[in-house]
Amino acid sequence: MTTATKALRHFPWCAPGKCESRPETQSAEHYGQRLLLDAPDGMDMGPAYLLHAELYVDDRYKGTSLWLGTGDPDDDEAVLDGPQLDAFIARVTAFRDGLAAMRAQLDAKPTES
């Protein structure tokens, strides 16, 4: 007699082939596509990216989280919920705005005082 296995139901953000069924606990772990912030040319830091981010959920536990880590494989990763991710997005946006302001000033010539 065969045991019917329940088909794994995925989230819209699941990356094909990355999710894992856990028959022993009748659960599953879901993984999204990994997003990378590449390091600029000339920055020699080992990995070719500054940050990585990925959605994750183990359906035995609470809701979906975002894993965020640096390019250093020895660094801890942060696990962010929605409000924590909102706060981080605000920081990234402020940093991006600062970069854009510096870019606008990059070609400025000195003025006499």
Told to check if 57 binds Zn ion by CB under 5 A, we report no
Give residues 9-38 in contact with Zn ion (rule: CB under 5 A): 10, 14, 19, 30
Told to check if 53 binds Zn ion by CB under 5 A, we report no
| Region near Zn ion per CB under 5 A, out of 2-10, 39-47, 63-71, 78-86 | 2-10
Q: Please state the three-class secondary structure of the chain as a single string.
A: CCCCCCCCCCCCCECCCCCEEEHHHCEEEEEECCEEEECCCCCCCCCCEEEEEEEEEECCCCCCEEEEEECCCCCCCEEECHHHHHHHHHHHHHHHHHHHHHHHHCCCCCCCC
By CB under 5 A, name the binding residues for Zn ion: 10, 14, 19, 30
